[in-house]
């Protein structure tokens, strides 16, 4: 088991198959204090519910990062959720495990402080790295070794914004299709898109966007579909 990194994205490379790891990863989130909200084994995606009450989250770094150390009788103006993505590794007999974080915070929208609105918080790569470290320990790694592997994982940036010949904005990824495909999938997870279908041969993701307010408040939102075309470099 090891940690790979590209920019601020880290992921685990674990021996085995996705279906073998799935139960252990689910148990990990439950033991950490989260509720599983979505499971899509066929797509390799598992997502927790929004966590507002951190009473069941252990004290220490993780609880502080998730909005502070609060008693169960209080609510917090911050909520967090995590998505885990499992992909077959580039190396035969391995699985790549990605964890992406989404956060929201509540703000008042009127002077009387009677109405509030939930707004997205920036992605927290440090929190994602901490979850990867804890997952490594859950999968059998020594705690000290897991910390070293997560902290020492270093890689240069390999993506930049460019212009296509027709003048449209484009993202140039300086690596092979396999790695670029996985990075796009993780980026979609981080910003809250749901991958409805994928066509790896054509390099297409079919995604559905859910408004953050509707996602947090449980409102129905039909969203919309569009395609993202990933071109070979």
DSSP secondary-structure letter at 49?
Answer: P
Q: Is the pLDDT reported for residue 56 higher than 70? A: no
Strands (E), 1-112: 2-6, 9-15, 36-40, 45-48, 78-88, 94-108
CA atoms of 153 and 150, how far apart (whole Å): 6
Count Cβ atoms within 10 A of the Cβ of residue 99 and give its class: 0-12 exposed, 13-18 middle, 19 or more buried. buried
Q: Under 8 Å CB-to-CB from 29, ≥6 apart: which residues? A: 36, 46, 48, 82, 84
Give residue 69's pLDDT band: very low, low, confident or very high (50, 70, 90): very low
Q: Under 8 Å CB-to-CB from 59, ≥6 apart: which residues? A: 69
pLDDT digits (tens, 9 = 90+) for 2-54: 998 877 788 999 999 999 999 999 999 999 889 999 999 998 999 999 886 44
Is residue 28 within 8 A of residue 46, CB to CB? The reply is no
Count Cβ atoms within 10 A of the Cβ of residue 135 and give its class: 0-12 exposed, 13-18 middle, 19 or more buried. buried
Q: Is the pLDDT reported for residue 166 higher than 80? A: no
Residue 25 has phi, psi (to 5 degrees) of -70, -40
> What pLDDT is attached to residue 74?
38
Cβ atoms < 10 Å from Cβ of 184: 18
Give residue 189's pLDDT band: very low, low, confident or very high (50, 70, 90): confident
Q: Under 8 Å CB-to-CB from 134, ≥6 apart: which residues? A: 28, 32, 62
In CATH, the architecture of 2-229 is 2-Layer Sandwich (3.30)
Give residue 223's pLDDT band: very low, low, confident or very high (50, 70, 90): very low
Q: Under 8 Å CB-to-CB from 164, ≥6 apart: which residues? A: 170
pLDDT digits (tens, 9 = 90+) for 97-139: 999 998 888 887 777 777 888 888 888 888 898 899 999 999 9
> What pLDDT is attached to residue 48?
94
DSSP secondary-structure letter at 51?
Answer: B
Helix (H, G, I), strand (E, B) or coil at 126: helix
What are the b/e assignments for 60-96, b being 16+ CB within 10 Å? eebbebbbeebeeeeebebbbbbbbbbbebeeeebbb
Q: From residue 35, how far is each of 157, 190, 192 by CA, in Å?
A: 34, 19, 18
> What pLDDT is attached to residue 210?
65
Q: Which residue has the higher pLDDT, 161 or 60?
A: 161
pLDDT digits (tens, 9 = 90+) for 74-95: 345 788 899 999 998 888 999 9
Which of 64-73, 133-142, 148-157 is predicted most confidently?
133-142
> What pLDDT is attached to residue 47?
95
Give the pTM: 0.61
């Amino acid at each position: 088991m090891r940690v790979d990194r590209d920019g601020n994205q880290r992921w685990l490379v674990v021996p085995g198959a996705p279906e073998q790891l799935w139960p252990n990863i689910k148990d990990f989130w439950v033991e950490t204090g989260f509720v599983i909200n979505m499971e899509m084994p066929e797509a390799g995606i598992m997502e927790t519910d929004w966590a507002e009450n951190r009473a069941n989250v252990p004290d220490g770094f993780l609880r502080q990062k998730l909005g502070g150390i609060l008693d169960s009788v209080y609510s917090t103006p911050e909520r967090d959720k995590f998505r885990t993505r499992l992909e077959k590794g580039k190396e035969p007999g391995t699985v790549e495990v990605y964890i992406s974080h989404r956060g929201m915070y509540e703000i008042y929208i009127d002077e009387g402080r009677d109405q509030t609105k939930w707004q997205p918080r920036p992605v927290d790569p440090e929190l994602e790295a901490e979850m990867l470290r804890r997952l490594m320990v859950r999968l059998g790694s020594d705690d000290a070794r897991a910390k070293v592997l997560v902290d020492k994982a270093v890689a240069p940036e390999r993506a930049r914004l460019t212009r296509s010949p027709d003048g449209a904005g484009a993202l140039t990824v300086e690596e092979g299709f396999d790695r670029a495909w996985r990075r796009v999938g993780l980026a979609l997870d981080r910003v809250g898109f749901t991958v409805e279908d994928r066509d790896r041969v054509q390099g297409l993701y079919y995604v559905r966007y859910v408004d953050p307010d509707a996602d947090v408040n449980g409102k129905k939102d039909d969203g919309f579909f569009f395609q993202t075309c990933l071109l070979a470099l």
